[in-house]
Amino acid sequence: MALKKSRKKNTTQSQNEKRDCNQIRNELLSDDASSRRWAARDIVNCPGATHMLLDQLNNEEEPSVRQVILSSLTQLGDSEAVEGLVNCLRSEDASLRNEAIEAMKQLPEEVAPIMATLLNDPDPDVRIFAVNILESLCHDDVEQWLVSVIRDDEHVNVCATAVDLLGEVGSEISIEALTGLKDRFTEEPYIQFAADLAMKRISGD
Protein backbone atom coordinates (compact mmCIF):
# COMPACT_ATOMS: atom_id res chain seq x y z
CA MET A 1 0.00 0.00 0.00
CA ALA A 2 1.17 3.56 -0.50
CA LEU A 3 0.50 7.19 -1.12
CA LYS A 4 -1.47 7.41 -4.31
CA LYS A 5 -3.40 9.83 -6.38
CA SER A 6 -7.14 9.55 -6.65
CA ARG A 7 -7.99 7.23 -9.54
CA LYS A 8 -11.53 8.44 -9.96
CA LYS A 9 -12.82 11.86 -10.75
CA ASN A 10 -14.05 13.57 -7.64
CA THR A 11 -17.09 14.89 -9.38
CA THR A 12 -19.89 12.51 -10.25
CA GLN A 13 -22.19 13.18 -13.14
CA SER A 14 -25.24 13.62 -10.98
CA GLN A 15 -23.48 16.25 -8.91
CA ASN A 16 -22.75 18.26 -12.03
CA GLU A 17 -26.25 18.13 -13.41
CA LYS A 18 -28.21 21.32 -13.25
CA ARG A 19 -31.25 20.71 -11.13
CA ASP A 20 -34.47 22.60 -11.62
CA CYS A 21 -36.20 24.34 -8.77
CA ASN A 22 -38.94 21.71 -8.48
CA GLN A 23 -36.31 19.06 -7.97
CA ILE A 24 -34.52 21.18 -5.39
CA ARG A 25 -37.79 21.81 -3.54
CA ASN A 26 -38.43 18.07 -3.40
CA GLU A 27 -34.92 17.42 -2.14
CA LEU A 28 -35.45 19.89 0.67
CA LEU A 29 -37.92 17.31 1.97
CA SER A 30 -35.72 14.29 1.25
CA ASP A 31 -35.08 11.66 3.91
CA ASP A 32 -31.35 12.08 3.35
CA ALA A 33 -29.81 14.90 5.41
CA SER A 34 -27.02 15.56 2.90
CA SER A 35 -29.57 16.03 0.10
CA ARG A 36 -31.52 18.43 2.29
CA ARG A 37 -28.35 20.41 3.04
CA TRP A 38 -27.47 20.74 -0.63
CA ALA A 39 -31.05 21.65 -1.47
CA ALA A 40 -30.97 24.32 1.26
CA ARG A 41 -27.88 25.80 -0.41
CA ASP A 42 -29.07 25.50 -4.00
CA ILE A 43 -32.58 26.80 -3.43
CA VAL A 44 -31.40 30.39 -2.92
CA ASN A 45 -31.70 31.00 -6.66
CA CYS A 46 -35.27 29.70 -6.85
CA PRO A 47 -38.41 31.82 -6.54
CA GLY A 48 -40.01 31.58 -3.11
CA ALA A 49 -36.77 30.31 -1.56
CA THR A 50 -37.12 32.26 1.70
CA HIS A 51 -40.61 30.94 2.35
CA MET A 52 -39.57 27.33 1.75
CA LEU A 53 -36.45 27.65 3.87
CA LEU A 54 -38.41 29.13 6.76
CA ASP A 55 -41.00 26.36 6.53
CA GLN A 56 -38.26 23.75 6.59
CA LEU A 57 -36.40 25.52 9.42
CA ASN A 58 -39.40 25.14 11.68
CA ASN A 59 -39.77 21.44 10.89
CA GLU A 60 -36.12 20.44 10.53
CA GLU A 61 -34.72 18.32 13.35
CA GLU A 62 -31.20 17.67 12.02
CA PRO A 63 -28.90 20.43 13.39
CA SER A 64 -26.55 20.34 10.41
CA VAL A 65 -29.41 21.00 7.99
CA ARG A 66 -30.68 23.83 10.18
CA GLN A 67 -27.27 25.46 10.09
CA VAL A 68 -27.23 25.40 6.30
CA ILE A 69 -30.80 26.74 6.14
CA LEU A 70 -29.77 29.62 8.41
CA SER A 71 -26.72 30.35 6.27
CA SER A 72 -28.94 30.49 3.18
CA LEU A 73 -31.47 32.73 4.93
CA THR A 74 -28.58 35.00 5.92
CA GLN A 75 -27.42 35.04 2.33
CA LEU A 76 -30.92 35.91 1.09
CA GLY A 77 -31.32 38.50 3.86
CA ASP A 78 -34.66 39.80 2.60
CA SER A 79 -37.41 41.19 4.83
CA GLU A 80 -39.24 37.87 4.84
CA ALA A 81 -36.09 36.10 6.06
CA VAL A 82 -35.61 38.65 8.82
CA GLU A 83 -39.28 38.37 9.84
CA GLY A 84 -38.96 34.59 9.92
CA LEU A 85 -35.87 34.82 12.10
CA VAL A 86 -37.64 37.23 14.44
CA ASN A 87 -40.44 34.69 14.81
CA CYS A 88 -37.82 32.11 15.81
CA LEU A 89 -36.96 34.34 18.80
CA ARG A 90 -40.38 33.45 20.18
CA SER A 91 -39.85 29.72 19.73
CA GLU A 92 -39.87 27.38 22.71
CA ASP A 93 -36.87 25.64 21.15
CA ALA A 94 -33.78 27.22 22.76
CA SER A 95 -31.45 25.95 20.02
CA LEU A 96 -33.59 27.53 17.33
CA ARG A 97 -33.69 30.83 19.24
CA ASN A 98 -29.92 30.90 19.61
CA GLU A 99 -29.40 29.95 16.00
CA ALA A 100 -31.72 32.76 14.91
CA ILE A 101 -29.79 35.26 17.08
CA GLU A 102 -26.52 34.19 15.49
CA ALA A 103 -28.03 34.48 12.00
CA MET A 104 -29.45 37.94 12.69
CA LYS A 105 -26.05 39.19 13.85
CA GLN A 106 -24.93 38.62 10.27
CA LEU A 107 -27.59 40.95 8.89
CA PRO A 108 -26.87 44.41 10.33
CA GLU A 109 -28.47 46.47 7.58
CA GLU A 110 -31.53 44.25 7.37
CA VAL A 111 -32.05 43.98 11.11
CA ALA A 112 -31.46 47.69 11.81
CA PRO A 113 -34.90 48.88 10.62
CA ILE A 114 -36.69 46.51 12.99
CA MET A 115 -34.33 46.83 15.95
CA ALA A 116 -36.36 49.56 17.64
CA THR A 117 -39.46 47.37 17.37
CA LEU A 118 -37.61 44.39 18.82
CA LEU A 119 -36.27 46.48 21.69
CA ASN A 120 -39.83 47.55 22.49
CA ASP A 121 -41.37 44.10 22.23
CA PRO A 122 -43.83 43.36 25.06
CA ASP A 123 -41.92 40.15 25.86
CA PRO A 124 -38.78 40.95 27.92
CA ASP A 125 -37.12 37.75 26.68
CA VAL A 126 -37.39 38.99 23.10
CA ARG A 127 -35.89 42.32 24.23
CA ILE A 128 -32.98 40.46 25.84
CA PHE A 129 -32.46 38.48 22.63
CA ALA A 130 -32.47 41.77 20.72
CA VAL A 131 -29.67 43.05 22.98
CA ASN A 132 -27.83 39.76 22.40
CA ILE A 133 -28.04 40.44 18.67
CA LEU A 134 -26.49 43.87 19.23
CA GLU A 135 -23.45 42.22 20.79
CA SER A 136 -21.95 41.45 17.41
CA LEU A 137 -24.08 43.58 15.13
CA CYS A 138 -21.74 45.65 13.02
CA HIS A 139 -23.84 48.83 12.92
CA ASP A 140 -23.26 52.49 13.75
CA ASP A 141 -26.35 52.75 15.97
CA VAL A 142 -25.49 49.95 18.40
CA GLU A 143 -24.50 52.28 21.21
CA GLN A 144 -27.53 54.50 20.70
CA TRP A 145 -29.86 51.48 20.86
CA LEU A 146 -28.20 50.31 24.06
CA VAL A 147 -28.51 53.77 25.57
CA SER A 148 -32.22 53.78 24.80
CA VAL A 149 -32.58 50.41 26.54
CA ILE A 150 -30.89 51.45 29.77
CA ARG A 151 -32.73 54.77 29.73
CA ASP A 152 -36.25 53.47 29.05
CA ASP A 153 -36.62 49.74 29.64
CA GLU A 154 -38.33 48.90 32.89
CA HIS A 155 -37.15 45.31 33.12
CA VAL A 156 -34.01 44.87 35.18
CA ASN A 157 -32.73 41.85 33.24
CA VAL A 158 -33.01 43.65 29.92
CA CYS A 159 -31.11 46.61 31.33
CA ALA A 160 -28.49 44.31 32.90
CA THR A 161 -27.83 42.67 29.54
CA ALA A 162 -27.53 46.06 27.85
CA VAL A 163 -25.25 47.58 30.47
CA ASP A 164 -22.84 44.62 30.22
CA LEU A 165 -22.50 45.29 26.53
CA LEU A 166 -22.14 49.04 26.99
CA GLY A 167 -19.11 48.35 29.15
CA GLU A 168 -17.50 46.94 26.06
CA VAL A 169 -18.72 49.21 23.27
CA GLY A 170 -19.84 52.35 25.07
CA SER A 171 -18.33 55.81 24.88
CA GLU A 172 -18.77 59.08 26.74
CA ILE A 173 -22.23 59.54 25.27
CA SER A 174 -23.42 56.63 27.42
CA ILE A 175 -22.29 58.11 30.73
CA GLU A 176 -25.41 60.15 31.38
CA ALA A 177 -27.70 57.19 30.69
CA LEU A 178 -25.55 54.94 32.88
CA THR A 179 -25.85 57.41 35.74
CA GLY A 180 -29.61 57.55 35.15
CA LEU A 181 -29.78 53.75 35.17
CA LYS A 182 -28.17 53.65 38.61
CA ASP A 183 -30.77 56.14 39.85
CA ARG A 184 -33.63 54.05 38.43
CA PHE A 185 -32.46 50.79 40.00
CA THR A 186 -31.03 51.88 43.33
CA GLU A 187 -32.04 48.60 44.97
CA GLU A 188 -30.36 46.39 42.39
CA PRO A 189 -26.73 45.69 43.40
CA TYR A 190 -25.85 44.10 40.06
CA ILE A 191 -26.99 47.16 38.11
CA GLN A 192 -24.96 49.40 40.44
CA PHE A 193 -21.90 47.22 39.95
CA ALA A 194 -22.26 46.80 36.17
CA ALA A 195 -22.98 50.50 35.56
CA ASP A 196 -19.94 51.51 37.63
CA LEU A 197 -17.79 49.02 35.76
CA ALA A 198 -19.05 50.27 32.39
CA MET A 199 -18.32 53.88 33.33
CA LYS A 200 -14.87 52.92 34.56
CA ARG A 201 -14.08 51.16 31.32
CA ILE A 202 -15.41 54.00 29.21
CA SER A 203 -13.37 56.59 31.06
CA GLY A 204 -10.32 54.34 30.81
CA ASP A 205 -9.51 54.30 34.51
Partner 1 sequence: MSDHNISEHDFDKFAEFFYRKTGIKFEPSKRYFVDKRLTERMRETGSDSFRHYFTTLRFQASGEELQRLTNLLTVNETYFMREDYQFRCLIDSMLPDVISRHDPRKPIRIWCIPSSSGEEPYSIAMYLLEEWEGINDWDVELIASDIDTQILATAQKGIYSERSIRNVPASWKRRYFKSVPGGHQVSEDIRDAVEFTRINLSEPADVRSMRNIDIIFCRNLLIYFDDKSRKVAAEYMYEAMSPGGYICLGHTESMGRISPLYRVKKFPAAIVYQRPLEAK
Q: Which residue from 64, 79, 117, 144 is in contact with partner 1, where contact means CB under 8 A?
A: 64
- C-alpha dihedral sign at 93, 81, 40, 69: negative
The nearest distance, CB 106 to partner 1, in angstroms, is 5
Q: Which residue from 30, 58, 67, 192 is in contact with partner 1, where contact means CB under 8 A?
A: 67
Question: Residues 43 to 62: which contact partner 1 by CB under 8 A?
Answer: 62
SS in 3 state form for 57-103?
HHHCCCHHHHHHHHHHHHHHCCHHHHHHHHHHCCCCCHHHHHHHHHH
Helix (H) or strand (E) holding 186: none
Stretch that binds partner 1, among 38-46, 51-59, 146-154, 179-187 (CB under 8 A): 38-46
Question: Residues 6 to 35: which contact partner 1 by CB under 8 A?
Answer: 6, 10-11, 15, 32-34
Query: Which residues, 6+ apart, have CB-to-CB distance to 183 below 8 Å?
Result: none
Query: Going residue by residue from 162 to 191, which x/- string records binding to partner 1, judged by CB under 8 A?
Result: ------xx-x--------------------
